[in-house]
Amino acid sequence: MTNFDRPLARRAVIKGAGLGLIAGTLADAISTQEAHADIPGSEIWSGEYWAKKGDVPLWMYRKRVGAPKQGEPSRPVVFFVHGSSVSSRAFDLNVPGHGDYSILNAFARAGFDCWTMDHENYGKSGRTSGNSDIASGVEDLKAAVEVVARETGEKKYHFVGESSGALRAGAFAMAAPERVDRLVFAAFTYKGEGSPTLAKRAEQLDYYRSHNMRKRDRDMIRSIATRDKPGTSDPAVVEALADVELQFGDQVPTGTYLDMTSNLPVVKPEKVLSPVLLVRGEYDGIATVADIEEFFNLLPNGDRQFIILPGTAHSVTLATNRGLFWHVARAFLTMPLPMAT
């Protein structure tokens, strides 16, 4: 299908998978069972859409169990926001013989209406002379949610963002809080203090300031999975990701790199009003535990969690232990409403 028109008193800091899995198990099991109850069949349907940000076409993609039908009950919408060096293909990767790597499929089967998009200058979306920084990504999301609202009838959505995608989602939550339900920030960074990855990246700061595009070849894509802790991702999966990404060329925008090396913090915790789950891989070099804890402690909503996943590095979505991320994210998004106290 192609459519061209169209504060709660709960606080949990969970370090390690053991407590994280226990914390989410009951809510996960109950809510997922309820989500499946109204879904006829089990075949996953997908559709393509286009949003417009001024004159810039933005490609959007949707997955859910069963094609949409007029008059049917709506399903909870979750919008996945990609990072600096890859497009939305990272959320729907097919790697035959190596297990399921599509988080869109996993969440569709759990009863969600899953959406994602290619930001300006990424994937199938329009090419411009801009650098596609975080502010630009917020405008992309503003355009995209109008399409989601039209197609689903829903006005508020969950957002799952990884790396600079988490920054985009957080900045959008500050700009349009009325559109945001629950937020999952994976591989997030607040101020970036003590980050070895950002310190290395900052060596190229003059380049990012003077160029709107940077090289993103196969070796660079491989480095996403190896720079922190080799062995936390399957090499075959990284090669599959490179195969699908390089069809769009070997250049990506510099905007998010510039923001992360010179403009942090771009997400102000006191202005993020929604419930938040912060997920960090044990070996992630993009942000220290102290950096994330500082952000966590300043969030105004008592409904918040901070989880550290063992055996994972920066990319939790495509890690060998990705199932841990899928579990804690799904449990957080399906958490029952607490009784008022």
**pLDDT digit string, tens, across residues 211-236:** 999 999 999 999 998 999 999 999 99
Give me the pLDDT at residue 23, please.
33
CB 301 within 8 A of CB 275: yes
| Residue range 2-333 in CATH 3.40.50.10790 | no
- Rounded CA-CA distance 163/85 in Å is 10
Give me the pLDDT at residue 63, please.
98
Give me the pLDDT at residue 340, please.
73
Give me the pLDDT at residue 341, please.
65
Share of the chain above pLDDT 70, in %: 88
Residues facing 162 on adjacent strands? 186
**pLDDT digit string, tens, across residues 24-47:** 333 333 333 333 334 445 799 999
Query: Where do the structural domains in the chain lie, given as residue ranges?
Result: 2-333
In our burial notation (b when 16+ CB lie closer than 10 A, e otherwise), range 126-140 reads bebeebbbbebbbbb
Nearest to 211 by CA among 252, 239, 243: 252
Q: Tell me phi and psi for residue 258, to 5 degrees.
A: -65, -45
Give me the pLDDT at residue 337, please.
85
Residue 250, number of CB atoms within 10 A of its CB: 14
What pTM did the predictor assign? Answer: 0.88
Beta-strand pair 77-81/157-162:
parallel
- Rounded CA-CA distance 56/121 in Å is 10
Alpha carbon distances (Å) from 216 to 12, 242, 333: 38, 10, 33
Give me the pLDDT at residue 34, please.
35
Q: List, for the chain, all residue ranges whose pLDDT scores fall below the cut of 50.
A: 1-40
- Write out the chain in H/E/C secondary structure: CEECCCCCCCEEEEECHHHHHHHHHHHHHHHHHHHHHCCCCCCEEEEEEEEEECCEEEEEEEEEECCCCCCCCCCCEEEEECCCCCCHHHHCECCCCCCCECHHHHHHHCCCEEEEECCCCCCCCCCCCCCCCHHHHHHHHHHHHHHHHHHHCCCCEEEEEECHHHHHHHHHHHHCHHHEEEEEEECCCCCCCCCHHHHHHHHHHHHHHHCCEEECCHHHHHHHHHCCCCCCCCHHHHHHHHHHHHHHCCEEECHHHHHHHHCCCCCCHHHCCCCEEEEEECCCCCCCHHHHHHHHHHCCCCCEEEEEECCCCCCCCCCCCHHHHHHHHHHHHCCCCCCCC
> Which residues, 6 or more positions from 217, have their beta carbon under 8 angstroms from its beta carbon?
246, 250
Give me the pLDDT at residue 339, please.
80
Give me the pLDDT at residue 326, please.
98
Nearest to 112 by CA among 58, 50, 44, 167: 44
Q: Using CA atoms of 62, 160, 245, 164 in order, give the dihedral in degrees to the nearest 10.
A: 140
Look at the chain and count its residues.
Answer: 341
